[in-house]
Amino acid sequence: MEYKLLVLLLIALLTSSFSEAGEANLSWTPPTLNDDGSLLTDLASYEIWHGCSQSGSYTDVEVILAPASTHIASGLPDIGTCYFAAKATNSAGVSSVFSNESSKLMGALELPGIVDDTTITWAESQDMPATFVGSNSASSSTGTVPSVTHGLTILENDVVVAVIYVNNSNENITLISGFTEDYQANTSQTATISVQTKVAGAPEPASYSSSKDTSTRWAMYILVFRGVNTTTPIDVTTVADSGPSSNSVVSPSIIVAANAVGIAVATQDTGSGSMDSVDNGYTGLITEPNQISGVSYRIFTTGGATGDVITTSSLSIGWDALHLSLAVAAAGGANPKGPLGMVLNGPFGGPL
C-alpha cells in the first residue's frame, strides 16, 4: 500500500537559554491535518522518544499532552550522542509514524542567544496511484465450477478482483472463498455476471473457484492491484449496459477519483470469436474464447468522467458491458499525518 509522505511540519530546536547537563530543550509546531487531508480536531498528545546508544534505537519515551508545544528531555547522559524522534497521537489513540531522526552531542558548548532557528517545511505529496500486479483468466464451454489458477505473486493487502460471466440467466454464482460480492445481475443477453473482491491475506491460494447451477459456457477473470483501499475497494457502483448486434461493446462512462482504477468488462452472447482491442486509455485487455468476453483496466492520474470505454470484438452480436472503479488506498485513514519532521539545532549556526 502507498502513503502520503512528509506531510507534517514539526520544528524541534534548542532554545536560546542554557541547557543543563543531561538535558535537551525542544519546541515544535503542532500538526493541523490528518493524513486523509481533514482537519485534525482531536490531537491528544505527543510521544517523544530517545535513545543514547545508536541511531534508530529508542529506549525511552515520554508522553506530552496537547496543547503543549515544548518539552525538556532530561535524565540524559552528560557525554555521548542522544537520538530523538516523535509521534503525534489523537484521542482515539492512533499515532502517526515516527518523525525523521535528530541527534544531540551531549556536553557540547552552548552559548545564550546563539541558536540557529532552522525551520523544516514539508511539501505535501498526494496519494500515490494504485499499481497493477497482474491478471489471469480461464473459460470453458461446459462445467459448473468456474476456476482460475492465477500464477501471480499476491501480497497481503493486495486487492483481488474476480469477474465471472455465465451464459445463462438466473444462475446462482457462489462466492469464492474469502471474497465479497459487489455485483451480480442478469443481463439482457440472458447471462449472469458476478463481480467479487477480496483483500488478500498471506499467503493466498494458487487458484480461485466458484460454482454455478448449470453446465453452460463461462469465463472467469482474476485481476490483482496494489495500493487500493482495503476497507471499501469498490469506489463507484458498477454500471451495466447492453446493446443489440454490434462489434463495439460500450462500457458507459463513470466518475472516478484521482489515482483510482477503472475496470471495463465486455461480453457477447457467443462462444466463438475474440475481443480484439479497447480504447480510451484502457489497457491489459484479457479475453476468453470459450465465452467471448474481455476485461481491461486504466489507472487514472486525475479524477473526473472516464468517458465511454469501447471494446471491439471480431463479431457483430448482442453484448453486455460493465464499468466499475476501485478506490485508491487511504493514507491510513483519519490519523495524524506523518512522518513528522524533527530537527535539533545548536550554537554557531549549525545542527548539533
Highest-pLDDT range among 22-31, 73-82, 103-112: 73-82
| Residue 32 to residue 20: CA distance in whole angstroms | 32
What is the per-residue pLDDT for 349? 28
List all residues 6 or more positions away from 65 whose beta carbon is below 8 Å from its beta carbon.
44, 45
Q: Which three cell numbers stand for residue 99?
A: 518523525
Query: Phi first, then psi: what are they for 133, rounded to 5°?
Result: -90, -45
Confidence of residue 162 (pLDDT cuts 50, 70, 90): very high
Confidence of residue 175 (pLDDT cuts 50, 70, 90): very high
What is the per-residue pLDDT for 81? 86
Confidence of residue 119 (pLDDT cuts 50, 70, 90): very low
Q: What percent of the chain has pLDDT over 90?
A: 34
Highest-pLDDT range among 46-55, 116-125, 234-243, 292-301: 292-301
What is the per-residue pLDDT for 5? 28
Average pLDDT over residues 216-222: 94
Indicate whether 18 pLDDT > 50. no
Indicate whether 69 pLDDT > 60. yes
| Residue 249 to residue 215: CA distance in whole angstroms | 26
Tens digits of residue pLDDT in 250-300: 999 999 888 889 999 998 888 778 899 999 999 999 999 888 899 999 999
What is the per-residue pLDDT for 50? 87
Domain at 24-126+336-349, CATH from 1.10.357.20, 3.40.50.300, 3.90.550.10, 2.60.40.10: 2.60.40.10
Query: Phi first, then psi: what are they for 101, rounded to 5°?
Result: -95, 145
**Cβ(339)–Cβ(79) below 8 Å:** no
What is the per-residue pLDDT for 330? 59
Question: Residue 233: is the preceding peptide bond cis (ω within 30°)?
Answer: no
Average pLDDT over residues 111-121: 34
pTM reported for the whole predicted model: 0.61
The per-type count for the chain, helices as H runs and strands as E runs, is 0, 21
| Residue 26 to residue 13: CA distance in whole angstroms | 5
Indicate whether 158 pLDDT > 50. yes
What is the per-residue pLDDT for 108? 66
Confidence of residue 128 (pLDDT cuts 50, 70, 90): low
Average pLDDT over residues 59-75: 86
Tens digits of residue pLDDT in 130-156: 889 999 999 998 999 999 999 998 988
What is the per-residue pLDDT for 284? 93
- Domain spans in the chain, listed from the N-terminal domain onward: 24-126+336-349, 131-326
Indicate whether 160 pLDDT > 50. yes
Tens digits of residue pLDDT in 228-256: 888 889 988 777 778 888 999 999 999 98
What is the per-residue pLDDT for 103? 77
**DSSP alpha helices (H): ranges in the chain?**
none
